[in-house]
């Protein structure tokens, strides 16, 4: 299992991710969607 809790990511002063939390269990797949250059 992978767990991420209350993750926030800044690029300079830009807050790209704010307080995201998730769990991945065996066999699950997670994808991040967004435009090119969005910091995925």
State the pLDDT at residue 40. Answer: 67
**pLDDT reading at 1 higher than 80:** yes
- In order of 14, 23, 25, 28, 30, the CA distances from 11 in angstroms are 5, 24, 29, 29, 22
Task: Look at residue 39 and tell me whether its pLDDT is greater than 80.
Answer: no
pLDDT at 35 over 70: yes
Read off the pTM.
Answer: 0.61
Domain boundary assignment for the chain: 1-27
Rounded CA separation 9/29 (Å) = 21
pLDDT in tens, 6-34: 999 998 999 988 999 999 999 999 888 88
**pLDDT of the residue at 16:** 86
């Amino acid at each position: 299992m992978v767990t991420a809790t209350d993750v926030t990511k800044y690029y300079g002063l830009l807050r790209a991710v704010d307080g995201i939390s998730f769990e991945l269990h065996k066999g699950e797949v997670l994808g991040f969607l967004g435009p090119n250059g969005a910091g995925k």
